[in-house]
């Protein structure tokens, strides 16, 4: 089973930085891009670090309400996510689920019988999204939205040993590339 794992902040919306989940808004193009993946039968998962829960900036209930609002917006545009995987822990908790660790990906693999080598990660941060994809043997698509430009320049040293399979202008461009790659 093939799937695409999307980072939230900076990839499907927001700014790339921490934003309160009830204030999060998707980029205008995100629902259509997700719908394109839905229509070709690819599972679409959200996977996101939400360390601000662990640090007390907002509650897990607020985070879940934000996810619900996002899913309602997707549904209103005939798009959907097949699942949401998130890490609420602080960095110092040293958990297995916080990207660049691959606990979230392994959970989805187990639950949905995925072959991660046939799956994609789309994200805006090299130091977490691309490193996680690389560790899991997945295809890596870096978007230039959010922290993407900075990941390619100022913060490239954090993930210099990894090359993305594709650098996309945004999620729409990423989905077009994934669609072409699946046809190979």
51-101 confidence digits (pLDDT tens): 899 888 898 999 899 999 999 999 999 999 999 999 999 989 989 999 999
Catalytic residue among 9, 28, 93, 169: 9
pLDDT band at 19 (very low <50, low <70, confident <90, very high): confident
Tokens standing for residue 56: 């007390």
Has residue 89 been placed in a domain? Answer: yes
Q: What is the pLDDT of residue 18?
A: 74
To the query of whether residue 9 is one of the catalytic residues in this protein, the response is yes
pLDDT tens across 159-177, in order?
A: 999 999 999 999 999 999 9
Tokens standing for residue 160: 């210099």
Q: Classify the C-alpha dihedral 10-128-160-122 as positive or negative.
A: negative
Residues comprising the binding site?
7, 9, 87, 89, 95, 97, 124
Has residue 124 been placed in a domain? Answer: no
Q: Which of 89, 101, 97, 160 is nearest to 128 (CA)?
A: 101
Has residue 87 been placed in a domain? Answer: yes
Mean pLDDT over each residue of the chain, to the nearest integer: 96
Residues comprising the binding site for Mg(2+)?
7, 9, 124
Contacts of 19 (CB under 8 A, 6+ apart): 9
Has residue 144 been placed in a domain? Answer: yes
CA–CA dist 39, 78 (Å, integer): 10
Q: Which of 163, 104, 97 is nearest to 130 (CA)?
A: 163
Has residue 13 been placed in a domain? Answer: yes
Has residue 52 been placed in a domain? Answer: yes
CA–CA dist 183, 181 (Å, integer): 5
For residue 34, what are the domain limits?
A: 3-116+136-182
Residues in the chain: 184
Q: Per-residue pLDDT for 1 more than 90? A: no
Q: What is the pLDDT of residue 42?
A: 97
Which CATH number does the domain housing residue 9 bear?
3.40.50.1000
Catalytic residue among 7, 28, 93, 165: 7
Residues comprising the binding site for Zn(2+)?
87, 89, 95, 97
Q: Span 102-125, mean pLDDT?
A: 98
Has residue 131 been placed in a domain? Answer: no
What is the four-CA torsion angle of 175, 48, 148, 77, rounded to 10 degrees?
A: 40
For the chain, what is the domain count?
Answer: 1
pLDDT band at 47 (very low <50, low <70, confident <90, very high): very high
Has residue 126 been placed in a domain? Answer: no
To the query of whether residue 7 is one of the catalytic residues in this protein, the response is yes
CA–CA dist 47, 14 (Å, integer): 15
């Amino acid at each position: 089973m093939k799937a695409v794992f999307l980072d939230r902040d900076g990839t499907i919306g927001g700014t790339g930085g921490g934003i309160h989940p009830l204030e999060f808004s998707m980029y205008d193009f995100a629902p259509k891009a997700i719908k394109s993946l839905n229509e070709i039968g690819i599972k679409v998962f959200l996977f996101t670090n939400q360390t601000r829960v662990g640090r007390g900036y907002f509650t897990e209930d607020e985070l879940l309400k934000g996810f619900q609002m996002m899913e309602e917006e997707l549904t209103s545009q005939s798009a959907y996510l097949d699942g949401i995987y998130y890490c609420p822990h602080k960095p110092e908790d040293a958990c297995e689920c916080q990207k660049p660790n691959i606990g979230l990906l392994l959970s989805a693999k187990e639950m949905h019988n995925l072959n991660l080598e046939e799956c994609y990660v789309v994200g805006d941060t090299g130091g977490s999204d691309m490193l996680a994809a690389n560790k899991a043997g997945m295809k890596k698509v870096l978007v230039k939205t959010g922290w993407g430009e900075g990941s390619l320049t100022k913060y490239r040293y954090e993930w210099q040993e990894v090359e993305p399979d594709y650098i996309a202008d945004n999620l729409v461009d990423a989905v077009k590339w994934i669609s072409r790659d699946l046809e190979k």
